[in-house]
Amino acid sequence: MGSLGELSARNIIVSGKDIIERNNILSIPGTFLNLLPAFDAPVPDALQFAFPPLNNNSSQKIEPSATRFHDHLPAAVGVDLIGHSIPDTSLCRSLQREWPSVKHSGVYSIFHVTNDGKVHYYPVWILTWWELLLSARQKQEQWRSAYSWLSQAKSTSDHPAALKVYIKALDYISHIGWDTAIPFETRCSAADLTFFLSNDWLATRHIDWMLESVQLRFESCKQGENRLELPQNSVIFYSPEVLRSIIRRFETIPPNISPEAIPRFLSPLQKRIHDGERPRLYTVYNYSDVHWIALEVDFNRQVIRYGDSMGGSRSLARVRNIIKAWLKATWDYDSFACEQMPCGTQLDDASSCGVCAVNTIERQVFEDPLWDEDLASAYRASKFVEIAHRVLHLNRSNSVIELPVPLSRILADLLAGLIEPGSPNPNPPSPHLAPAYLSSDDDFFNRVSLDADEKIELNALTLADDQTDGEATDDPEPVHQNQALIGLGSDLDSDPDSNSSSESLKRPKKQQKSGKSTAHTRTVLGAVREGSFRIDDRRWARFVATIKELDNHAVLDRDNPLTVQHSTCGNTFKMRQPYDTKNFKLHVQAKTCILQTTGAKSSKKSDGAGMLPLTSFAGFKRRSDCSIGSGPHTSTAALASQQEIKRVCPGISEEDMPGISNYLLRTMYIGGGSRAYKHFADALYSAPYAKLKAAEQQNVQNEAHGNVAWRVDESRNVVTASNCTRIARTVPTVDGKLGLCKNCAALLDLKGFKASVQYEARPNQKFTNRRWIRASLSMQFAKVHGVYEIIVNKDERTPAQRFLLQVLKGEMKDCKIFCGMVEVMAMMDDKALCGVSLQNAKYPPDFNQFCHEIANISPLAYHTFRSIFGGQTTSNFCLCRVIRGRERCFPLAIDDSVFDIAQSYFSSINYTGPVCLSCNDTKLLPALKTYYDTSAKQWYLLGGTTGAIAIASTEELTSVIKGGKVSKASKV
């Protein structure tokens, strides 16, 4: 495998320097290079290769690198070097940094201890060997992860277009060299294509490759095949690096760019415009190094259009102004309008924005269907196929390869009815690939070196997807782990002029025979029938977890591992073999089953058997989910058995973060987390905010308000992220608790958000918000509480307004009687309006005492006062009874006790002034009255001329009055 020695630095972690040199002390001898797989070996062969393990001696890892270099002569190294453990990446990099400082000090070897405990003095070129192996291990792991990702996507998808793309991607993986150079990106290898077969974020180079594929597709279109129907030179695709260069040159306002400073890559565009053409320019903009957005500059309509898959919440004002400045400085265009392009929408997907941006451009040029999040994996796999096709095509200059059909075109054909869902792939690999063509039925990837359990699952999956009973393929003949690759390398070394890429792919297909996977499956099924099958606890746990993800309440039987009962419809499904979930998965994803009717499977008739259901009676209405039918076989099921549905994100409430309720009460602003005005003023106009005009200040305010990180939802009393996906991350539970979407959940860790919510105001801190006032909301609140007229009327000269303001300011707190009177008058009006009497009304204490005093002074005056200002009736006061029950009563005659009682009363009120003793000797009419003396505990009859008459009982009172001996006195 001497072809590896011809590689450049693309295989080495250290960039910008070729350390594989023939005439250098760091050069690897060709004998050891032949131990490694060729860079153009197919991916399956490279995945079989066993690279040396990493060193697990932790003490050797942390040892300073300077102690590794020695003047000791290196020991002889044999071909068994491929089995020696290698240090980790950090130690290798440390040794590389030390090498320039010690290479002139007579260093001949590097000291290293392998996993078996043996001490080795390696030659210095071992540095290059370690770097090469670490890089190769990383690329092998990338391909292994990519294949696992692709296999999982294929097994979980039932969309015909997606399946075609996945099968095509598997075929291209079996053809492409695992570390072959990408002709149009000299510093990258084919392993970099694995980013498309993953959920990783795509970098600028990946966007460049996709845009180049779009350009090649556009150039290969015949007249009328694209929606633009324009000459080929009317559309230009530029790399994001071109847009970045434009931003760097024109970000100053106004720009000071001379015509000579125009970048050379913009010269063709400049020439076309000067020649009278009005092309369309397409590129992709990198927003804050975290998001890709499609851009279109239409010179004919003078419009700048953009498509943001995250909902357009990001501010593009800066890049739009820079593009306008570039157009103005270069071609003297004065005004370009801004519009949005239709594009796909990312809800739960957070890494496919690059693919979605390129799809937005394809939508504009070819009228392809928009990116769909349910097919996000298929779109990534389609882009992998397009770019892998270009790599194979450019590495085989003597062949012509037909351009593969993109996923978007396959979707369009399916919608148009041109392709049946079950029809074969309309574009198989071209004929020149036939000798090395491997279909999905070949089970080629079962040769990948995996764990025993993973091999069994992989074979079972392939059998389940691509084979039927009695039709199976056999695995390849067992070989030594690295024997096949080493033998292939020997053949390649014998012909140094041979084309490695072509020879590695021109392998004859293996003759098919009876499959081992089918035989294994039949053996397992026989063991299940006989009851001798032993369940693997680890695989069974993984099987249960997969079933529970599909139906959390599904019923599984460990004694019968082939059956699973669906909780929604109640049907039991038989799996094709243990641990296989495909039959159940297809049933759940089809969503064709109906909810199980309660008691439908009961053989015993209930007490109400034969009666009409309640829903059959006229006038009966039931509120239910519109997704549940009202047919005779449908009924309302428990929440636990309902199918999972998407729910709206609930937002951040007090339960999620303490302090949200106080934050909602304090804030009057729409949200928070935006930058200051001066930041946007400097970015848009390069001037302080105070020096801007009114219209410019309004633009700055719009940008600041539009870039808030979170928003206040007053209708639900919650806070949501500005880019909230609106879809809850978890399925609703029995108690109705929903989880936040990923963007709202990210706010919980945002430092600025936590500081705003958890801010504690000082006790005496006062702040009047005069800037962020929601005037419309405040007026609605005033109308609801009936104070709208007070707020609207600016005249404060009326007594009523002056009195109200004084009460609100607390200046009337000493006028308790007057305020109480106003309160009583308002209460009387409210009760009269409601038609309620004043019975059991509550009166302010100070006002009630004032009424008592008026009633004691003059009952007639109090009667007039009460008719106007309100108050209790005189009969409700009970002033005398209260005083009698609380104070000592005066005796019937004037004696010493009268003076004692008067003295105690004066002492209680702290009175020391003059006192006059008098007697009321008149009364209105002669009359008699009973009186009870508490001190003597005796009843008396008063009002006679003979004085008080003691009475022992009611009979005696009656006899005294009837006797006629008592004469009524007119004076007392």
Region 506-530 average pLDDT? 60
Q: What is the pLDDT of residue 606?
A: 38
Q: How confident is the model at residue 643 (pLDDT cuts 50, 70, 90)?
A: very low
Asked whether residue 360 falls in the same domain as residue 254, the answer is yes
Domain contains 934: yes
Q: What is the pLDDT of residue 436?
A: 27
pLDDT(423) > 50: no
Region 326-344 average pLDDT? 80
Lowest mean pLDDT among 477-491, 522-536, 571-585: 477-491
In CATH, what number is assigned to the domain containing residue 314?
3.30.310.130
Strand partners, 283: 295
Asked whether residue 275 falls in the same domain as residue 324, the answer is yes
Strand partners, 672: 710
Lowest mean pLDDT among 173-182, 334-343, 792-801: 792-801
pLDDT(454) > 80: no
Q: What is the pLDDT of residue 591?
A: 67
Asked whether residue 688 falls in the same domain as residue 801, the answer is no
Predicted confidence (pLDDT) per residue in 590-639, tens digit: 766 654 443 444 344 333 434 444 333 334 333 333 333 333 343 334 44
Domain contains 452: no
Question: Which residues, 6 or more positions from 119, have their beta carbon under 8 angstroms from its beta carbon?
Answer: 111, 112, 113
pLDDT(640) > 50: no
Classified as helix, coil or strand, 17 is coil
* Domain end call among 337, 366, 395: 366
User: How does DSSP classify residue 280?
Assistant: E
Asked whether residue 848 falls in the same domain as residue 723, the answer is no
Range of the domain at 633: 534-599+628-644
Q: What is the rounded distance in angstroms from the CA atom of residue 740 to the CA atom of residue 749? A: 13
Q: If phi over 0 gives left and psi between -120 and 50 gives alpha, with beta otherwise, what is residue 704?
A: alpha
Q: What is the rounded distance in angstroms from the CA atom of residue 168 to the CA atom of residue 173? A: 9
The answer to whether the beta carbons of residues 539 and 579 sit under 8 Å apart is yes
Domain contains 47: no
Which phi and psi angles does 758 have, rounded to 5°? -90, 15
Domain contains 862: yes
Q: Which residue has the higher pLDDT, 185 or 304?
A: 304
**Can you give 844-872 as a three-state secondary structure string?**
CHHHHHHHHHHHHHCHHHHHHHHHHHCCC
Asked whether residue 716 falls in the same domain as residue 769, the answer is yes
Q: How many CB atoms lie within 10 A of CB 925?
A: 7
Most confident of 154-168, 180-194, 328-342, 568-582: 154-168
The alpha carbon of residue 931 and the mean position of all alpha carbons in its chain are separated, in whole angstroms, by: 87
Give 139: exposed, middle or buried? Use CB within 10 Å, 0-12, 13-18, 19+. buried
pLDDT(701) > 70: yes
What is the identity of the amino acid at 757?
Answer: V
Q: How confident is the model at residue 19 (pLDDT cuts 50, 70, 90)?
A: very low
The answer to whether the beta carbons of residues 621 and 666 sit under 8 Å apart is no
Asked whether residue 362 falls in the same domain as residue 232, the answer is yes
Number of domains comprising the chain? 6
Asked whether residue 767 falls in the same domain as residue 787, the answer is no
Q: What is the pLDDT of residue 186?
A: 63
Lowest mean pLDDT among 260-269, 468-477, 732-741: 468-477
Least Cα distance to 872 among 888, 850, 891 occurs for 850
Tokens linked to 321: 């102004």
Q: Which residue has the higher pLDDT, 294 or 57?
A: 294
Q: What is the pLDDT of residue 887?
A: 59
pLDDT(343) > 80: yes
Predicted confidence (pLDDT) per residue in 80-93, tens digit: 777 788 888 778 88
Strand partners, 933: 938
Q: How confident is the model at residue 500 (pLDDT cuts 50, 70, 90)?
A: very low
* Domain end call among 723, 755, 776: 776
Helix axes 537-550, 452-466, angle to 10 degrees: 40
Q: Which helix (H) or strand (E) holds 282?
A: strand 280-287
Domain contains 125: no
Q: What is the rounded distance in angstroms from the CA atom of residue 968 to the CA atom of residue 966? A: 7
Tokens linked to 397: 């200059």
Residue with tokens 């309100």: 870
Domain contains 87: no
Strand partners, 720: 711
Q: What is the rounded distance in angstroms from the CA atom of residue 969 to the CA atom of residue 972? A: 7
Question: Which residues, 6 or more positions from 893, have their beta carbon under 8 angstroms from its beta carbon?
Answer: 948
Classified as helix, coil or strand, 356 is helix
254 preceded by a cis bond (ω within 30 of 0): yes
Q: Which residue has the higher pLDDT, 757 or 408?
A: 757
Classified as helix, coil or strand, 607 is coil
Region 575-595 average pLDDT? 77
The answer to whether the beta carbons of residues 330 and 262 sit under 8 Å apart is yes
Q: How confident is the model at residue 719 (pLDDT cuts 50, 70, 90)?
A: very high
Q: What is the pLDDT of residue 501?
A: 35
pLDDT(783) > 50: yes
Asked whether residue 356 falls in the same domain as residue 265, the answer is yes
Domain contains 485: no
Give 284: exposed, middle or buried? Use CB within 10 Å, 0-12, 13-18, 19+. buried
Q: How confident is the model at residue 407 (pLDDT cuts 50, 70, 90)?
A: low
Question: Which residues, 6 or more positions from 721, have their beta carbon under 8 angstroms from its beta carbon?
Answer: 709, 710, 711, 741, 743, 744, 746, 747
Asked whether residue 249 falls in the same domain as residue 350, the answer is yes
Q: How confident is the model at residue 223 (pLDDT cuts 50, 70, 90)?
A: low
Q: Which residue has the higher pLDDT, 439 or 597?
A: 597
Q: What is the pLDDT of residue 881?
A: 47
Q: If phi over 0 gives left and psi between -120 and 50 gives alpha, with beta otherwise, what is residue 417?
A: left
Q: What is the rounded distance in angstroms from the CA atom of residue 826 to the CA atom of residue 610? A: 65
Predicted confidence (pLDDT) per residue in 871-907, tens digit: 888 777 754 445 445 556 667 667 787 788 888 878 8
Domain contains 40: no
Asked whether residue 772 falls in the same domain as residue 693, the answer is yes
Region 709-715 average pLDDT? 87
Lowest mean pLDDT among 245-259, 337-351, 439-453, 784-798: 439-453
Most confident of 254-268, 393-407, 561-575: 561-575
Tell me the helix, strand and coil percentages in the chain, rounded to 5. Answer: 45, 10, 45
User: How does DSSP classify residue 87?
Assistant: -
**Can you give 276-317 as a three-state secondary structure string?**
CCCCEEEEEEEECCCEEEEEEEECCCCEEEEECCCCCCCCCH
Kindly report the pTM of this predicted structure: 0.45
**Can you give 101-146 as a three-state secondary structure string?**
HHCCCCCCEEEEECCCCCEEEEECCHHHHHHHHHHHHHHHHHHHHH
Asked whether residue 749 falls in the same domain as residue 795, the answer is no
The alpha carbon of residue 869 and the mean position of all alpha carbons in its chain are separated, in whole angstroms, by: 63
Q: Which residue has the higher pLDDT, 626 or 517?
A: 517
pLDDT(580) > 70: yes
Asked whether residue 243 falls in the same domain as residue 335, the answer is yes
What are the angstrom distances between the C-alpha of 77 and each of 95, 122, 131, 886, 966?
20, 7, 17, 117, 149
Q: What is the pLDDT of residue 518?
A: 64
Lowest mean pLDDT among 6-20, 145-159, 894-908: 6-20
